[in-house]
Structure 1
Amino acid sequence: MTVKSLLVGYDLNRPGQDYDSLIKELKEFRTYWRHLDSTWIVRTEKTATQVRDVLMRHIDSSDELLVVELTGNGAWAGFSPRGSKWLKDNLL
């Protein structure tokens, strides 16, 4: 299988929601990037659907979750040199 980069974004809509189990699950991916509060990029052989299904176990029905495969093209600003290097190495 081919390793790809997937963008994961979420909004947990219930006040006082506990992100701990969701964040722990995202950190299970061997390679991940998180420089924005609720936006991650993970490197995996899993499909976007498979990642969505795993993460849905850690959110409520009122929450929103987005998982999309990245194409390799991107632009960004304001990140540390380390964050920018990760993006260049894993997206382009």
Structure 2
Amino acid sequence: MIYSISYDLKNPGQNYDGLIEKIKSLGAWAHPCESYWLVDTQLNSAAVFNILKAFLDGNDVMIVSRFNNDDFSGKVSSDKIVQWINERTERYKNID
């Protein structure tokens, strides 16, 4: 399934490289916005969040949710991201 990961990291100067690397390790990924990722993984949203929360400070916030493959729209900076989304949403189109 495809999950969206959105966060606000509130601690300026904090090194969040570990968080980024962990997101990338979860499966195929796309990074369409600065604080927004899409990850294609077999894990569920709770498992993804439980893995990533170790990298958050007490005042950071994060939401992990299943990406809706039936209805989405937006503007992204790269055609590769659109291709990434289209390839995966087509594959999951008939899975509920």
TM-score, normalising length: structure 2: 0.85
Partners of 1:91 and 1:13 lie apart in 2 by 32
Change (3 A) 1:60 1:83: same
CA 1:45–1:78: 2 relative to 1, 3 Å: closer
Q: Deviations over 1:26-83 (max 9, x none)?
A: 1102300002111000011111011000000111111001100112021122432211
The size of the alignment, in residue pairs, is 89
Q: Pick from 57, 60, 64 the counterpart of residue 63 of structure 1.
A: 60
SS at match of 2:22: helix
What SS does the aligned partner of 1:33 have? strand
Paired residue type of 1:19: Y
Rounded to whole Å, the distance in 2 between the matches of 1:5 and 1:11 is: 20
Classify the secondary structure of the residue corresponding to 1:34: strand
Contact between 1:32 and 1:43, CA under 8 Å: does it hold in 2? yes
Unaligned runs of 5+ in 2: 91-96
Identity %: 25
Residue 79, structure 1, aligned to residue 77, structure 2: yes
Pairing 1:26–2:23 present: yes
Q: Which has the higher helix share?
A: 2
After superposition, the Cα gap between the structure-2 partners of 1:78 and 1:21, relative to the gap in structure 1 and judged at 3 Å, is: closer
Partner of 1:48: 45
Runs of 4+ in structure 1 deviating by more than 3 angstroms, as ranges, are none
The secondary structure found in structure 1 opposite 2:55 is coil
> CA RMSD for the aligned pairs?
1.2
**Unmatched segments (≥5 aa) in structure 1:** none
